[in-house]
Each structure stands twice: as structure tokens, then as C-alpha cells.
Amino acid sequence: MKKKLITVLILSATLVFLAACGSDSGSLEDLQDGGTVQVGFANEAPYAYEDDNGELTGASVDIATAVFAELGIDDVEGKLSDWQELIPGVQAGQFDAITAGMAIRPDRCENALFSEPTMQYGEGLVVAAGNPHGLESYQDIADNPDVKVVVMEGATEIGYLEEMGVDPSQIETAADIPATLAAVQSGRVDATTGTEMTVRMAYDNAQSDEIELVESFEQPPIDGVPSYGAAAFSLENEELRDAYNEKLKELKEDGTVAELLEQNGFHPENNFVEDGSVTTEQLCNGEV
């Protein structure tokens, strides 16, 4: 009798767990009924990160929060994740959306549903103080096999570097942006790269005399630059993505998105994407 009771309890707990993690838990109706949405982020300022008080903030977060509020979902809860685990996480139902300013790319579109673009951005480079190797582009790194560069795990810059001819043996990875800067500061590598706003903000916050931001950095002439960031959802959650896009369009048109970008250090015009000027469909198809 005890064995049967234990078996029943285990099965019941399993069913509750599966129900909590199922793809239906993040449907628009369920989120509106509960009033809470869980969003994945990777602690990358100024897109999505925890501030000094442990609060979730950043341009991507603020835009998503405004959109979800228009959908009647007022409570946005952040779930910190490694960058490379964001898409697998939303697919597994660990969170309902990704709010990390993630660039829309054809390979990513195979595994996640992206909203329309919320921002655009280029690349940046941080090197050792004095820039001893004279690095002003990815091509400069490719031309010097002795140069080592570190990139956040899973970031698009790994592919950009390789496309510009940088040998994979020159590229190292680290868990997050602070770790990449620390690697340059320690002298373990010669440079780190990421989106311009990310490395600029990280450099400013580091307040270190051992590194410098390359102001003369040349943007790589390759597909994917500039990048177009957006929120992302599970492939099974098209209804939520479509509803999100509808409200996002309204917030672009009334100036809210441009204002939120500016509040987070972005340029309200240079980093803003006019609705319809570049579409997610075009980006997913590799047309832009």
C-alpha cells in the first residue's frame, strides 16, 4: 500500500512539473491572466542587466516592459542565463521571452521567433592601454597571428571575426562581458570585442588605465553589421509574438521606443529602426 501511495505521489509531482514547464504556460492568455511574464537575459549592459540594486534594467528590458504593459502584463520578472542558453531556455519553457537585444540572424530564426527589430547597433573594440598592436579593425587582428581576442560565449562577434579571416586559434571565449575585459586587463589576451554600446559601457564602468576603447574602430564590411536586435519567443508561441509586434509598432510610432533607447544611452535616431524599414522576415531570409 505504501509503495502504491509513493508511486501515485511521484506521478502527481511529475505531472505538475511537466504542466509548469509546458509550452502552453507562456501563451498570451495565460500571461494576461497571471499578469506576469518571465524574460531571459544575459547581464549585458546596456541591453539587459541587473543594476546595483539587483533590479532588471536596460534598453531591451524597458522596451519589452512597455510592450507587455500594453498587453495587460505588468509584472516582468528577469531570469539570468548564459548567452548561449537563451534560445534553448525559451524553447524549453524556462522563460516566456528573451529580452537581451539579441541580433536577428537566419540561423537563430530557425530556433526562435523574433519580434520586429527594436534597435540597431554596430561593433566595438577594447584593447590594452596604448593599443600596442595598432588594432583598429578585425582585419588588423587577422593580419597579426600573434594577437589574441576574447569574445563572450555564443556572441555573433565570433563569426564576424572568422569571416574577416581571424584564425579560430586566435579567439578565446569568456562567460560574460566583465570577464572579457578582465582578460584584456590581465594581459592574457590583446583585445575584446562586442556590440559598440556594450563594450563602451563596460569600458566606462571599468575605469581602468590598463585598457582603452578604440575610437577609430572600422566597422567590418560583412553581412550582419549593423545588427538588428529584438525580443524572441518560442517557435510554438506565434500568438504572443504577433501580439507583441502589434503593440511594438504603436510604441514606435508614438515615440516611446526612441525615448527609451535614449534613456539607456542609445541614439534616438541612429539606433532606432523605423517600423517597416527593415523587417524580421528580411533578416531571417538573409536579405539584409
Predicted confidence (pLDDT) per residue in 10-40, tens digit: 434 433 433 344 334 579 999 999 999 999 9
Question: How far is it, in rounded angstroms, from Cα 156 to Cα 193?
Answer: 10
What backbone torsions phi and psi does residue 231 show, to the nearest 5 degrees? -75, 160
Torsion of Cα atoms, 132 then 207 then 160 then 49, to 10°: 170
163: which DSSP letter? Answer: H
- pLDDT of 181 reads 97
89-117 tens-digit pLDDT: 999 999 999 999 999 999 999 999 999 99
Identity at 272, one-letter amino acid code:
F
Question: Considering just the CA atoms, what is the radius of gyration of the chain in Å?
Answer: 21
Which residues of the chain fall below pLDDT 50? 1-24
Q: What is the pTM of this model?
A: 0.79
Helix (H, G, I), strand (E, B) or coil at 232: strand
16 SS3 class: helix
Instruction: Check residue 25 and give its pLDDT.
Output: 52
- Pairwise CA distance, residues 7 & 144, whole Å: 63
- DSSP β-bridge partners for residue 126: 192, 213
pLDDT at 140: 98
